[in-house]
């Protein structure tokens, strides 16, 4: 297979304990979901200040038209994802991101009339500021699940620069194959996105990290790279699959032997990590002038026909499930995102939001939590080298300050500790709620 695979050293799920990959849809071409009759578009689909509506009930909108905007540079606009009429502005509980927010409901006219999109032939004709504002206007956010606005990451810090760019093609969660398909089917766009990133940042090193279970993607991107002028600068790194290898903290460690500071971000050590699908979205926003209105997701698990779909943002989950032939009897749970980090939603009216890569119909076998038996498995498996059992214990007892002192902030919520715990303690859940309490206390 692939030689020179990088085998990073960190804890994580050990080989003998491995999660099955369940990549049911790896070989399926991306199909386009037929337009939904109605989309529900939340106004806060990113990290940062929420957008406010710029349309009224009754307004006619075109696909790609701005319907929500923010005055702050840190915010990003939201766009109509179908053409039609604004029928309602509702308040909406976003279970996935645990917040209350507004959402705009648009009824499709079925015509899918787009706004005028300005295509660019020559990237060099644009200044960096123009590129950044195009990315912001298109509403591009981190598609790996972080939903952090892309234009903020691409703005150089005031002092200094970013030396390293890592393009993240790791998709370590079970079931999810969306990024893999994007690399295979939109490889050119991904590399073009990488070019734009390179122009903005002018880094010294560029890495593309892809797991060793995706040799086709590695080969495909390598071929495209060879034809581009980026080739000499980019290092393609096949990396051993081990959950959660795709976490940026671990990629940085594996590729650069550096650690992201406990209370900092990647950019504090001069590194920028972007997901391959984000690179594709960056290309579309800058070169095609196309706002982020659709994304590739994997529909998998307990549906009749698992597949990879190109879906408009705001499509109710129900439409997607119906298109895939409906839920099988075993599934008892609808999860937005992968099985390790995704969020279970209470009903199938929930819309798909930006940055969601997977819709998983899961069979969750609820097990009762028993007392911790101190087996130490969670410690052995935590790639951030924390003591999850201690964090869970403190959180349970309401000792949130102690959680802080046990470095709860370093937790990346990968779910590994909970996966391995024989006592079925929902450790990650306890950690999340302690984090929330701590942030309220500040």
Partner 1 sequence: MAKIKNDNSNKTEEKLIISSAPHLRSKWSVKRTMYLVILALMLPTAAGIYFFGFNAIFVILTSVIAAVATEYLVKLLRKKPFVMDGSAVITGLLLALTLPPTIPLWMAAIGSVFAIAIAKEAFGGLGHNIFNPALAGRAFLQLSFPAQMSVWIAPSGFAPDAVTSASPLSDAFEKIGSNPEIYRELLIGNINGSLGETSALLLLAGGILLIILRVIDWRTPVAFIGATALLSLVLGQDAVYQVLSGGLMIGAFFMATDYVTTPMTRTGKIVFGIGAGILTVTIRLYGGYPEGVCFAILLMNAATPLIERYTQPRPYGLGKK
Q: Which residues bind ligand SF4 (CB under 6 A)?
A: 372-378, 381-382, 384, 386, 388-389, 392, 411-417, 420-423, 425, 427-428, 431
Q: Is 157 in the site for partner 1 (CB under 8 A)?
A: no
Which one of partner 1, ligand SF4, none interacts with residue 425, CB within 5 to 8 A by kind?
ligand SF4
Residue 196: name the closest of 143, 132, 118 by CA: 132
Binding mask 281-320 for partner 1 (x = CB under 8 A): -------------------------------------x--
Rounded Cα distance between 382 and 28, Å, is 33
Q: Is 331 in the site for partner 1 (CB under 8 A)?
A: yes
Residues numbered 78 to 137 that lie near partner 1 (CB under 8 A) are 95
Pairing verdict, β 99-108 and 84-94:
antiparallel
- The distance of closest approach from Cβ of residue 370 to partner 1 in the complex, given in angstroms and rounded to an integer, is 6
Q: What angle do CA 169, 175, 180 make, to 5 degrees?
A: 30
Q: Is 255 in the site for partner 1 (CB under 8 A)?
A: no
# residues near partner 1 by CB under 8 A:
75
Q: Is 418 in the site for partner 1 (CB under 8 A)?
A: yes
Q: Is 326 in the site for partner 1 (CB under 8 A)?
A: yes
Which one of ligand SF4, partner 1, none interacts with residue 246, CB within 5 to 8 A by kind?
none
Binding mask 8-47 for partner 1 (x = CB under 8 A): --------xx-x----------------------------
- The distance of closest approach from Cβ of residue 193 to partner 1 in the complex, given in angstroms and rounded to an integer, is 28
Rounded Cα distance between 332 and 340, Å, is 16
**Structure tokens, 72:** 């702050």
Cβ-based neighbour number of residue 59 at 10 Å? 17
From candidates 88, 204, 216, 259, binder to partner 1 by CB under 8 A: 259
| Contact indicator for 241, 156 with CB cutoff of 8 Å | no
- The distance of closest approach from Cβ of residue 353 to partner 1 in the complex, given in angstroms and rounded to an integer, is 16
Q: Is 407 in the site for partner 1 (CB under 8 A)?
A: yes
Pick between residue 47 and residue 412 the one whose CB is nearest to ligand SF4: 412
DSSP per-residue string spanning 139-183: T-B-TTTT--BHHHHHSPPSSS---EEEEE----SSS--HHHHHH
Q: Is 399 in the site for partner 1 (CB under 8 A)?
A: no
- The distance of closest approach from Cβ of residue 415 to ligand SF4 in the complex, given in angstroms and rounded to an integer, is 5
Handedness of CA 83, 86, 87, 89 (dihedral sign): positive
Q: Strands of 343-345's sheet, edge to edge?
A: 31-32, 307-312, 294-301, 358-362, 333-336, 343-345
Rounded Cα distance between 380 and 11, Å, is 6
Pick between residue 262 and residue 441 the one whose CB is nearest to partner 1: 262
**Structure tokens, 398:** 């309401």
Which one of ligand SF4, partner 1, none interacts with residue 253, CB within 5 to 8 A by kind?
partner 1
Q: Is 384 in the site for partner 1 (CB under 8 A)?
A: yes
Rounded Cα distance between 382 and 417, Å, is 6
């Amino acid at each position: 297979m692939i030689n020179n695979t990088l085998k990073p050293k960190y804890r994580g799920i050990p080989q003998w304990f491995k999660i099955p990959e369940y990549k049911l849809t790896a070989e399926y071409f991306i199909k386009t979901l037929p337009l939904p009759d109605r989309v529900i578009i939340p106004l806060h689909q990113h990290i940062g200040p929420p957008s406010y509506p710029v349309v009224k009930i009754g307004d006619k909108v075109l696909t790609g038209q701005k319907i929500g905007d923010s005055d702050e540079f840190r915010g990003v606009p939201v766009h109509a994802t179908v053409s039609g009429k604004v029928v309602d502005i509702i308040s909406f509980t976003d279970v996935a991101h645990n917040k209350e927010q507004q959402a705009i409901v648009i009824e499709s006219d079925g015509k899918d009339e787009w706004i005028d999109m300005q295509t660019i032939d020559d990237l060099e004709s644009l200044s960096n500021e123009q590129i950044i504002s195009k990315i912001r206007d298109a509403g591009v956010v981190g598609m790996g699940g972080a939903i952090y606005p892309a234009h903020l990451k691409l703005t150089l810090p005031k002092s200094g620069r970013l030396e390293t760019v890592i393009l993240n093609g790791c998709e370590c969660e079970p079931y999810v194959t969306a990024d893999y398909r994007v690399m295979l089917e939109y490889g050119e766009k991904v590399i073009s996105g990488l070019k734009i990133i390179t122009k903005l940042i002018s880094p010294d090193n560029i890495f593309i990290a892809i797991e060793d279970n995706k040799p086709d993607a590695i080969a495909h991107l390598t071929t495209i790279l060879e034809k581009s002028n980026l080739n000499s600068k980019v290092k393609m790194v096949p990396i051993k699959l081990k959950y959660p290898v795709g976490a940026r903290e671990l990629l940085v460690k594996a590729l650069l032997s550096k650690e992201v500071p406990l209370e900092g971000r990647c950019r504090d050590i001069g590194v920028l990590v972007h997901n391959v699908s984000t690179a594709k979205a960056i290309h579309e926003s800058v070169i095609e002038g196309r706002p982020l209105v659709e994304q590739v997701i994997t529909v998998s698990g307990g549906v009749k026909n698992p597949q990879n779909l190109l879906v408009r943002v705001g499509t109710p989950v129900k439409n997607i499930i119906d298109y895939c032939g409906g839920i099988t009897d075993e599934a008892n749970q609808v999860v937005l995102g992968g099985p390790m980090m995704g969020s279970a939603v209470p009903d199938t009216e929930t819309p798909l939001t930006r940055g969601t890569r997977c819709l998983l119909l899961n069979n969750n076998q609820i097990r009762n939590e028993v007392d911790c038996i101190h087996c130490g498995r969670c410690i052995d498996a935590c790639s951030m080298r924390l003591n999850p059992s201690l964090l869970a214990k403190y959180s349970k007892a309401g000792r949130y300050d102690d959680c802080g002192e046990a470095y709860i902030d370093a937790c990346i919520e990968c779910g590994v500790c909970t996966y391995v715990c024989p006592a079925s303690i929902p450790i990650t859940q306890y950690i999340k709620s302690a984090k929330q309490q701590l942030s309220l206390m500040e």
